[in-house]
Amino acid sequence: MIEYLPLNKINGRFLSSYQESLNEIISGDNLILGNSVEKFEKLFSDYCGTNCCVGVNSGLDALTLILKSYVELGKLKKGDGVIVPTNTFIATALAVIHAGLKPLLVDPNPETYNLDLKDILAEINHAKAIIPVHLYGQLCDMGEILSVAKTQNILVIEDAAQAHGAENENGQKAGSFGHAAAFSFYPTKNLGCLGDGGAITTNDQELFEHILKIRNYGKNLDGNYSEIGFNSRLDSIQAAILSVKLKELDSDNEVRRKIAIRYCSEIINSKVKLPTIKNIKSHVFYAFVIKVENRPHFIEYLTAKEIGFNIHYPQLLKDEIILNNFVNKPSKSNSDFSANIISLPLHPLLPETDIKKIIDAVNSY
């Protein structure tokens, strides 16, 4: 069986370093926050190229705390519209709702699956913020998004949960383009920990200081409480795991790119549409998503060949009934691809024999 993502093997590479980090934490006295979290925050902000990073409990919390903070700091008002693509994980829209804001759902470009300027422009007059999601690991066109946001004087908050290490042609990394960015370290992510974890990167000092407080009950450095806060701290053990894994992120992403390049050049089948890749460095292939004719049949076919797969995502957010009362939906659809997409196995430990089997299987479908 070719597993979609063998997390035990991915983490197995780091066991002795994990053990060392764990020993340090157990023998020290900072089980919550302290050195381990501060060390990772510094490493990760340096990696992304931002001045600040705050470790939090999850990607959902990272997005929610950014948006809530901007409401509390007076940069957004309750009920303001926030542009969110319809093809993303539900967390992107939930964060907007939790912050008392209104998701304005916009169809993504059906080729890149990312937000497109013309679709943003259709909603721009109702929006006070945009959340570009670097979906599947591919950077959105941040140049055009930032320039339209600047003209309208609205906030840009990157959802970089799937794009750790993706960079543009100038080497600028995901998480450093907008006013702030949210990352998830959910175990399946390119940089994943051994449980839940997330982070916010930003150059906005005021936002940074606010989130430092509200992730920890609203507590000031002097021990008093000045905000109605949360408990959303990145766990010290997870931070230590992430510091170990961050060292391998670039080389892992490079392996992912090499496999993606092979899929793109060797998968040739008129029933299969390959992803559109704008610039190889701008993609870190969290998911390699193809479109296939007759997906139910393709799933049976892969299953018979013992090849794992995933679907990102089975349903567009505009079709999620639970969101009906909370969102504005796009008026006309240009992207009903959710019935055809399927993600093939792609990870840094995928052996050559499996790559070949996957390519052969897709070609003979």
Using the rule CB under 6 A, is 65 a contact of ligand PLP? no
Q: Considering only 28-36, 88-96, 137-145, 219-227, which stretch makes contact with ligand PLP by CB under 6 A?
A: 88-96
Q: Least distance to ligand PLP from the beta carbon of 74, Å?
A: 25
**How far is it, in rounded angstroms, from Cα 209 to Cα 54?**
9
Assess 168 for contact with ligand PLP (CB under 6 A): no
**Residue of 55, 59, 175, 275 interacting with ligand PLP (CB under 6 A):** 59
Cβ distance to ligand PLP smaller for residue 267 or 345: 345
Kindly state whether residue 55 participates in binding ligand PLP, applying the rule CB under 6 A.
no
In the complex, residue closest to ligand PLP by CB? 59
CB-nearer residue toward ligand PLP: 267 or 341: 341
89 binds ligand PLP (CB under 6 A): yes
Token pair recorded at residue 242 = 């992430």
Output 198 or 348, the one with its CB closest to ligand PLP.
Answer: 198
95/272 with CB nearer ligand PLP: 95
Q: How far apart are CA 184 and CA 204, in angstroms?
A: 20
User: Applying CB under 6 A, which of residues 84, 161, 272, 358 lies at the interface with ligand PLP?
Assistant: 161
Which residues inside 174-193 make contact with ligand PLP, applying CB under 6 A?
184, 186
The pair phi, psi for residue 230, each rounded to 5°, is -130, 175
The helix (run of H) or strand (run of E) holding residue 265 is helix 236-266
Among 119, 158, 159, 204, binds ligand PLP (CB under 6 A): 159
Report the residue from 66, 76, 91, 362 that binds ligand PLP according to the rule CB under 6 A: 91
- Across 280-319, b (16+ Cβ under 10 Å) vs e yields ebbbbbbbbbbbbeebeebeebbeebebbbbebbeebbbe
- Give 181's strand partners: 158, 201
Tokens linked to 55: 């470790």
Instruction: Using the minimum distance from each CB to ligand PLP, give the nearer residue, 89 or 285.
Output: 89
Q: Which long-range contacts (CB under 8 A, 24 or more apart) does 259-267 make?
A: 259/285, 259/288, 259/346, 259/350, 259/355, 260/285, 260/288, 260/346, 262/355, 262/359, 263/288, 263/344, 263/346, 263/355, 263/358, 263/359, 266/359, 266/363, 267/359, 267/362, 267/363
Instruction: Read off the tokens for 113.
Output: 């699956």
Q: Shortest gap between Cβ of 343 and ligand PLP (angstroms)?
A: 12
Under rule CB under 6 A, how many of the chain's residues touch ligand PLP? 15
Q: Which residues bind ligand PLP (CB under 6 A)?
A: 58-60, 88-89, 91-92, 133, 159, 161-162, 184, 186, 196, 198
